Structure 1
Amino acid sequence: MLNNRGIMKIDSLKVFIAVCENLSFTKAALNLSMPKAKVSYTIKDLEEGLGVQLLTRTTRKLSITPEGMECYERAIKLVNEMEDFQAMFLHDTDDKLSGKIRIDMPVPVAKNCVLPNLSEFIDKYPGLEIEISSTDRKVNLIEEGIDLIIRVGSLQDSSLFAKKIGEYELLNCVSPKYIERFGTPRSLKSLKDHFQVHYCQQLGRENDYFEYMEEGKIKKVRTKALVSVNSTEAYTAACLEGLGIIQAPYSGLRDSLEKGDLVEVLKKYKAEAMGVYFLYSNRKFLARRVRVFMEWVEPYVKDYIYS
């Protein structure tokens, strides 16, 4: 929205950002605690003031135009810079932080590391609202309005900034149930007589290899499977039920190994360690509220990885 001097209001940009991140006027209005009609009017006024169409509306779908996407990226930066500018002149700055932080992370990291400690962060920053997405799929920061990703594994999107937190050591494991039924895998040659739980984020894609490092290079041995899964929790569960070998981070297997529910095998043939990273858009100014979350959670993630 523009005022009578033609100056854009920062609140109008916040409304526009909310609509882009929800791709819905209704959801944006709910998140902003604002009447839907006011949201619609604000967007219309913003488009008229800028002289461009920012959103394409149909009866079933709301989408962002190329001009709208450029406006969204610039609006994010402007709003975050304004919030940081205001924070410079507030006493007890961190206590007065407000807004929403949307983070995507793997299920085990959320379940075993972040959520058990999150009340500490919430108590310290009561004005912040935390949204945690926990899936194994790759997410799009811009389209889904994600502020920060905690990612495990290889990095494929070069448009994102990455900060490495640490590395997961991967172990090869089976359960006593598997050993009772199929015996213990003792060599790479013996893998032809064994089964591996195949993991793939998108079922139907080939990922039927046992991986190991040799002289600094990744080597692969094709394996058979009784079951293929697309989630980390199902991956471990399948192994516990005796359905095959898995190659997974020690931190997620620690309890099962200590209880004897899993047994490490093929210790000489470990897969390459998996990096753990913070990812965020290099086109988005990193807001203070996101930075304080990163600073708070990093020691917990490191402790989870290495303890």
Structure 2
Amino acid sequence: MAKALLAQHALMLETLKDDKDRMEGLITLAIPAGIGPLFVTPQLLEFLQIFPKIEFELITLTSKAEEVFYNHPEKVVHVSIGYGVPGTGDIVSRYSGKMEFIPCCSPSYIKKHGHIVDPSECAVHTGLSYTGGTRTKTQELQNGGVVKQLKWKKSLSFQSLSDLKNACLLGAGIAGDIPLIHCIDELEEGKLVNVLRGWKRPAAGCYLYSTKHFVEYRRVKTFLDWMAEKHREILEQIDNRFGQLA
């Protein structure tokens, strides 16, 4: 543990040697698994067209986005992306929109087990649950002011959202909370079906985070503001696509 902390301190000292006004150098970015193809990589390529001397290192986020600046033992993280609340203290945040969580299953599951419209029916179905560290496990759904517990006949738990979605596509059960960004394509293509209509986990705020220290660097602050705007555009487009489905 001491060696990891010393390594982190050495990296921090190297960062402090940088010219704060230069639009060049490394930005280490922590992101949840699975969001890269739509939500990160295309935007990084676009940003690099504008600022070609920037370098990026991407690491997988395994905790809440605002916590990674303190609990990652080997890397100095400049920016993180994830669900959360506005930053406080030394944490700086940029809000980029809200993420809806959609109860889904495959058409093959419905054909075999029937449609489901109310959480009380979950007691005779198989539930697919996400238990990764980026957010809490979904244990209840809301519809207006009504809250109902999710109680499954049996449950399959996944720490990887990609694995959960693949199991859902294969007809293994009902996922109560796939983030809309991860299922909008499959919903449009008919590979997944929105069940429990009206019932869902409350939407989560999406944020980009950094620290007061790192936003003093022009490259970090420029990227933080630029990426937040790009994400606002993407989330708005996804919401509009889902609205057309509904």
Q: Shorter-chain-normalised TM-score: which range?
A: 0.7 to 0.9
Higher strand share: 2
| From 180, 189, 194, the counterpart of 2:120 | 189
| Cα deviation, residue 63, structure 1 | 3.9
Alpha-carbon distance change, 183 to 274 in structure 1, aligned in 2, over 3 angstroms: same
| From 168, 192, 196, the counterpart of 1:266 | 196
1:212-251 mapped onto 2 (5 Å cutoff): 212-215=142-145, 219-246=148-175, 247-251=177-181
Instruction: Give CA deviations for 1:133-192 in whole Å, capped at 9, x if unaligned.
Output: 234444632542100001125689975333221101222111112112221112222111
| Cα deviation, residue 116, structure 1 | 2.3
The answer on 1:117 being equivalent to 2:48 is no
- 2:87 and 2:81 map into 1 onto residues whose CA distance is 14
For the Cα contact (< 8 Å) 2:101–2:178, is it kept in 1? yes
Q: Which structure has the bigger radius of gyration?
A: 1
| Aligned residue in 1 for 2:244 | none
Q: How many residues align?
A: 229
1:156-175 mapped onto 2 (5 Å cutoff): 160-175=91-106
Identity score, percent: 24
For the Cα contact (< 8 Å) 1:103–1:133, is it kept in 2? yes
Instruction: Give CA deviations for 1:35-54 in whole Å, capped at 9, x if unaligned.
Output: xxxxxxxxxxxxxxxxxxxx
**TM-score (norm. length: structure 1):** 0.64
**TM-score (norm. length: structure 2):** 0.78
Instruction: Give CA deviations for 1:81-100 in whole Å, capped at 9, x if unaligned.
Output: xx23xx4xxxxxxxx62110
1:239 alignment partner, SS class: helix
| RMSD after superposition | 3.2
For the Cα contact (< 8 Å) 1:76–1:284, is it kept in 2? no
Alpha-carbon distance change, 200 to 300 in structure 1, aligned in 2, over 3 angstroms: same
Alpha-carbon distance change, 113 to 256 in structure 1, aligned in 2, over 3 angstroms: same
Alpha-carbon distance change, 218 to 153 in structure 1, aligned in 2, over 3 angstroms: farther
Counterpart of 1:140 in structure 2: which amino acid? V
The answer on 1:200 being equivalent to 2:128 is no
Instruction: Give CA deviations for 1:233-286 in whole Å, capped at 9, x if unaligned.
Output: 112111111122221222321111111111111112121001101112245453
| Cα deviation, residue 72, structure 1 | 7.6
For the Cα contact (< 8 Å) 1:171–1:270, is it kept in 2? yes
| From 51, 69, 93, the counterpart of 1:141 | 69
Alpha-carbon distance change, 102 to 301 in structure 1, aligned in 2, over 3 angstroms: same
| Aligned residue in 2 for 1:298 | 228
Counterpart of 2:211 in structure 1: which amino acid? S
For the Cα contact (< 8 Å) 2:91–2:211, is it kept in 1? yes
- 2:140 and 2:236 map into 1 onto residues whose CA distance is 24
Alpha-carbon distance change, 249 to 306 in structure 1, aligned in 2, over 3 angstroms: farther
Instruction: Give CA deviations for 1:174-216 in whole Å, capped at 9, x if unaligned.
Output: 11121122211122221111121011016xxx9472422542x
Greater CA deviation, 154-163 or 291-300?
154-163
Alpha-carbon distance change, 297 to 130 in structure 1, aligned in 2, over 3 angstroms: same
- 2:17 and 2:148 map into 1 onto residues whose CA distance is 48
Counterpart of 1:241 in structure 2: which amino acid? L
- 1:163 and 1:174 map into 2 onto residues whose CA distance is 33
